[in-house]
Amino acid sequence: MATTIAAERQAPGQLFIGGQWVDAQSGATFETVHPATGEPIARVAEAGEADVDAAVRAARRAFAETGARSWGGLDAADRGTLLWRIADMLERRQDELARLEVLDNGKPLREARIDIREAVDAFRYYAGWCTKLQGDTIPVRGNVLNYTLREPVGVVGAIIPWNFPLLMAAWKVAPALACANTVVLKPAEQTPLSALELAAAAQEVGLPAGVLNVVTGFGETAGAALVRHPDVDKIAFTGSTEVGRTIMREAAGTLKKVSLELGGKSPNIVFADADLDAAARGAFAAIFYNAGQACTAGSRLLVQQEIHDALLDKLVERARKLQPGDPLDPGTRLGPMVSQEQLDRVLNYIERGRAEGARVVAGGGRADYAGERRGYWVEPTIFAGVAPDHTIAREEIFGPVLAVLPFADEEQAVTLANDTIYGLAAAVWTRDLKRAHRMARRIHAGTVWVNTYHPLDAASPFGGYKQSGFGRELGASALDLYTQTKSVWIDLS
Ligand code: NAP
Ligand code: MG
C-alpha cells in the first residue's frame, strides 16, 4: 500500500501556510489509514494552535495586500482564470486523485471518480462567477447616486468532513476564492490527503501565497483554534449537527459569520403508483451510495402499504448481492466505513434497532474483507417493521443501514417525512404529476428529488432546513455566503 500511495501524491505531508510547505511547529504528525484494511498509508503534520495562527496571519496578509499582483488587486477575470487553472490541474490528475481518495477514504473507485469530476465542475462554475459578481444601482429618493458593491468577507475558515473529502473542499474553497476571500482549510483527520493535493494545485497554478492555506489536524485542537481565532471572519462548516452546535456557540465570541451544512435523516417516499423497479434502484442508491456515509442518504424509506412487500423484496435481493470488494477495483460497488470509530457507531445502531424491535431483513452485522476480519466493513443492512419512534428512524447513522416504514396515504407520508429534527433532502416516487409537486412543497427539506435520488450540480443550491443547518452552498446562493454588500451614496446636488 505504501508504494501505491507514493505514486498518487504530489504534495508532502506538511502544512501549506503562506505558500510554503512546513512542519507543525510542535513537530507532531498523525497517521491516516486505508479503511478497507486498516493499514497505515501516510503520515501528515498535526497542526496545533500556533500553526493555525500562522495560517490565519498568512491569509490575512494575503487578503490585505493591494498591489497589482495581490489577490485583491487582481482583475476579476484573472482571478477566474486562476480558478479555471486549478480545475484543469485537478482534471489532469483525476486518475491519481481518485485513487488517492480511495486509499484515504475507502470509497469505491467509481464513486471517487465522480467526486473528482464534481470538484472540477465546482471550480469551473465559480471561475465563471468572478466576472459576474456585480452590485446594483438603486433608485433612492433625492439627488444622489446609490449603488452597491459586493465585497469579500475576508478570511474564511473552512472545516470539512471525511465523506467526500476533495468535493467538500471544492464546495467551500471555489466560491470563497471566486469572491476574493482568502481561506484556511482544515480537512477531516481521517482524510487529509486530497486537501493537500488541492494546495499543491493552487501552488502550481500560481495562486498568490497565503490565499489558500491547509492545516491538517484534529477538530478539537486545530478546528477549534480556527473557530476561536479573532482574525477569522467566517466559518464554513460541513459535518455533524453536534459539532455544528459547538461551532455556532464558539463563533459567537467573535461574532463570526457562520454557515453550517449538517446531518440528515432524509425520507425517501415511494407511492403505490410509482415505477417500482426504478424506485427500488433509487432507494438502493439512496442508502448504499458511499456506504451510506452521505449527509443526504435516503435512510428512511417510506413505502405505501400496497407495495411495501414487493418493494422490500426487490431491495433485499439487491442488498444481498452488494458485497465488499477491493475499492480500487472499478467494478466494486461497496466500500467500508471510514474508521473504527464509525464502524463501532454503525454496529451500535444496528444493535439498537434489533433491541427496540425492528426486524433485520438483510445484512445486520460486520462484514469480512477478502475472507478476513479486517478493515471497517458493514453488511448492507435493511430493517423492516420500524416504528417512527425507533432510534434508527430518528438518528443519523451514517452507514449502510436502511429503516423501512409503511404509510397509508399522502397525508400520513407527509407527517412521517417531516417528523424529524432534520431537513436536508427528500425524494418522492410517483407517476402522479400533481402529487409530485404537492409533495415537493409540503416536505420541509432543502432538496426534494422526484423519481430520482442524489443528483447535485455546482449550479444548483444545496443546504438544510431545520437542524440540517443554514446557508446554501453551490449555485449563485453560495456567493451570499462569501460576500458582503456595501451601499455607497454619492451626493449629486
Ligand atoms: P465531525 O466531528 O462533525 O467532523 C467534521 C469536521 O469538524 C472535521 O474536520 C472535524 O475534525 C471538525 N471538528 C470536530 N470537532 C470540532 C470542533 N470542536 N471545532 C471545530 N472543528 C471540529 O464529524 P465526525 O466526528 O467525523 O463524524 C461524526 C458523525 O457526524 C457521523 O457519524 C455522521 O453522523 C456525522 N457527519 C455528517 C456529515 C455531513 O456531511 N452532514 C459529515 C461527516 C459526519 P476531526 O476530523 O478531527 O474530527
Ligand atoms: Mg470527529
pLDDT digits (tens, 9 = 90+) for 235-249: 999 999 999 999 999
How far apart, in whole angstroms, are the C-alpha atoms of residue 45 and residue 304? 52
473 lines ligand 1 (CB under 6 A): no
246 lines ligand 1 (CB under 6 A): yes
243 lines ligand 1 (CB under 6 A): yes
The answer to whether the beta carbons of residues 111 and 144 sit under 8 Å apart is no
For residue 341, report the distance from its CA to the centre of ligand 1, in Å.
Answer: 12
How far apart, in whole angstroms, are the C-alpha atoms of residue 23 and residue 82? 27
Question: Which residue's CA lies nearest to atom 27 of ligand 1?
Answer: 240
299 lines ligand 1 (CB under 6 A): no
> Nearest Cα to 320, choosing from 232, 240, 238, 382?
382
345 lines ligand 1 (CB under 6 A): yes
Which mutation among 164, 243, 287, 340 tests ligand 1's pocket best, with the greatest number of atoms within 8 A of CB? Answer: 243
Across the range 182-197, mean pLDDT stands at 98
Please classify residue 199 by burial: count the beta carbons closer than 10 Å to its beta carbon, then call 0-12 exposed, 13-18 middle and 19+ buried: buried
Q: Grid coordinates in use for 288?
A: 448504499
298 lines ligand 1 (CB under 6 A): no
Catalytic residue check, 295 = yes
At the top level of CATH, the class of 5-262+468-488 is alpha beta
What are the two backbone dihedrals, phi and then psi, of residue 366, each rounded to the nearest 5 degrees? -75, 150
- pLDDT value of position 4: 83
- pLDDT value of position 153: 98
> Nearest Cα to 102, choosing from 143, 41, 148?
41
Domain boundaries, the chain: 5-262+468-488, 267-458
CATH of 267-458, one of 3.40.309.10, 3.40.50.920, 3.40.50.300, 3.40.1280.10: 3.40.309.10
Asked whether the predicted pLDDT for residue 3 surpasses 90, the reply is no
Across the range 6-32, mean pLDDT stands at 97
Choosing from 261, 379, 396, 410, the catalytic residue is 261
What are the two backbone dihedrals, phi and then psi, of residue 214, each rounded to the nearest 5 degrees? -125, 125
Choosing from 101, 295, 396, 410, the catalytic residue is 295
Asked whether the predicted pLDDT for residue 2 surpasses 90, the reply is no
Residue 386 C-beta-side C-alpha neighbours within 13 Å: 30
The answer to whether the beta carbons of residues 196 and 16 sit under 8 Å apart is yes
pLDDT per position as a tens digit, 333-391: 999 999 999 999 999 999 999 999 999 999 999 999 999 999 999 999 999 999 999 99
Catalytic residue check, 179 = no
Residue 68 pLDDT class (50, 70, 90 cuts): confident
- pLDDT value of position 185: 99
> Closest ligand 1 atom, CA of 162?
43
Of 1-15, 117-131, 286-300, least confident by mean pLDDT is 1-15
- pLDDT value of position 69: 86
For residue 395, report the distance from its CA to the centre of ligand 2, in Å.
Answer: 17
pLDDT per position as a tens digit, 389-408: 999 999 999 999 999 999 99
> Closest ligand 1 atom, CA of 187?
9
pLDDT per position as a tens digit, 216-238: 999 999 999 999 999 999 999 99
